[in-house]
Amino acid sequence: MTLDLKNLSVFYGKTQALFDCSFSVGEGEFVALLGSNGAGKTTLLRAVSGLLPFKGSIAFSGMALDKIVAQKRLALGIAHIPQGRGTFSEFTVDENLSLGATIVSNRSQVREDKDRWYETFPRLRERRDQLAGNLSGGEQQMLAVARALMSRPKLLMCDEPSLGLAPSITQEILAIFKTLNKDHGMTLLVVEQNVDITLQYADRAFVIEAGQIVASGAATELIANEDIKKSYLGVA
Ligand SMILES: Nc1ncnc2c1ncn2[C@@H]1O[C@H](COP(=O)(O)OP(=O)(O)O)[C@@H](O)[C@H]1O
Ligand SMILES: [Mg+2]
């Protein structure tokens, strides 16, 4: 699979939020999209997953997505963990995982996948019968990730996993993404404001500012680039 954005523009009414954004995510990559508050990160993910109309082109494995509705994009393998996680607080952990598999008709696949992800997230197994609303922030983020994995995505997109989490918990979540990437071959597009921590785990990153892609590079290059960090990412 590849995700290719070419000259992606998104408007809210007459207000333009994204301006000709172009970039690609290749099979097996862990890519970060970095930018400060209001830069357009959430807008970009929502355009990819089918929640906002766009101009320009978004292709998934060469297939143009403009006429494909959100539910169909999920079936094609695009999973989107929204900002704020989007887990169902009135449902148990296990029920949330089931809800992540609504597009899967094979019941034994659902059982298999739950077992696999409970293996990866032992704390979710321990809390499988608890209401999601009673989990800690970090556990809720893990649940959001595991729930998204239940649809067997080819591309997992996550919007600001660090939101509301202590730095050590953010590290733990990013380490989980790295494991998913390295051990399970998952392709990742992770949106973050938390630049330094994210660049420790991602392979490559794009920087978005005021709706435009303003920089890109290998994480190892960007981590050393004080100019970019100062100019666009609010890092002192
Ligand atoms: N529903 C909306 N209606 C109008 N403008 C919006 C809406 N959502 C976001 N915006 C604007 O679009 C820009 C990008 O927002 P967003 O994608 O949420 O940024 P980020 O996720 O990087 O913080 C901001 O200027 C924001 O005010
Ligand atoms: Mg956002």
Nearest residue (by CA) to ligand 1, atom 11, is 17
Residues 146 and 164 in one domain: no
Decide which of 116, 136, 152 is a domain's last residue: 152
Residue 133 beta carbon below 6 angstroms from any ligand 1 atom: no
Any atom of ligand 1 within 6 Å of the Cβ of 15: yes
pTM: 0.97
**Nearest residue by C-alpha to atom 27 in ligand 1:** 38
In this structure, which residue's CA is closest to atom 4 in ligand 1?
12
Q: Which domain holds residue 95?
A: 86-152
Residues 190 and 207 in one domain: yes
Q: What is the pLDDT of residue 110?
A: 98
Q: Are residues 8 and 119 in the same domain?
A: no
- The predicted pLDDT at position 236 comes to 57
Q: Give the domain-ending residue among 152, 185, 203.
A: 152
- My answer on whether 30 and 53 are in the same domain is yes
The domain boundary, picked from 130, 152, 174, lies at 152
Looking at the fold, whether 146 and 158 belong to one and the same domain comes out as no
State residue 23's pLDDT score: 97
pLDDT of residue 134: 97
Residue nearest to atom 12 of ligand 1 (CA): 17
Residue 19 sits in the same domain as residue 126: no
- Shared domain for 139 and 40, answered yes or no, is no
Tell me if 14 CB under 6 Å of ligand 1.
no
Q: Which atom, in ligand 1's list, is nearest to the CA of 211? A: 14
- CATH code assigned at 6: 3.40.50.300
Co-location of 174 and 216 in the same domain: yes
- What's the per-residue H, E or C state across the chain? CCEEEEEEEEEECCEEEEEEEEEEECCCCEEEEECCCCCCHHHHHHHHHCCCCCEEEEEECCEECCCCCHHHHHHHCEEEECCCCCCCCCCEHHHHHHHCCCCCCCHHHHHHHHHHHHHHCHHHHHCCCCEHHHCCHHHHHHHHHHHHHCCCCCEEEEECCCCCCCHHHHHHHHHHHHHHHHHHCCEEEEEECCHHHHHCCCCEEEEEECCEEEEEEEHHHHHCCHHHHHHHCCCC
The domain total for the chain is: 2
Same domain flag for 145 and 181: no
Q: Is the CB of 40 under 6 A from ligand 1?
A: yes
The residue whose CA has the least distance to atom 1 of ligand 1 is: 12
Tens digits of pLDDT across the chain (236 residues): 999 999 999 999 999 999 999 999 999 999 999 999 999 999 999 999 999 999 999 999 999 999 999 999 999 999 999 999 999 999 999 999 999 999 999 999 999 999 999 999 999 999 999 999 999 999 999 999 999 999 999 999 999 999 999 999 999 999 999 999 999 999 999 999 999 999 999 999 999 999 999 999 999 999 998 888 888 777 65
Q: Are residues 172 and 65 in the same domain?
A: yes
What pLDDT was estimated at residue 177?
98
Residues 126 and 160 in one domain: no
Q: Are residues 236 and 160 part of one domain? A: yes
The pLDDT assigned to 132 comes to 98
How far does the centroid of ligand 2 lie from the alpha carbon of residue 38, in Å?
7
Ligand 1 near 207 CB (within 6 A): no
Question: 38 CB less than 6 Å from ligand 1?
Answer: yes
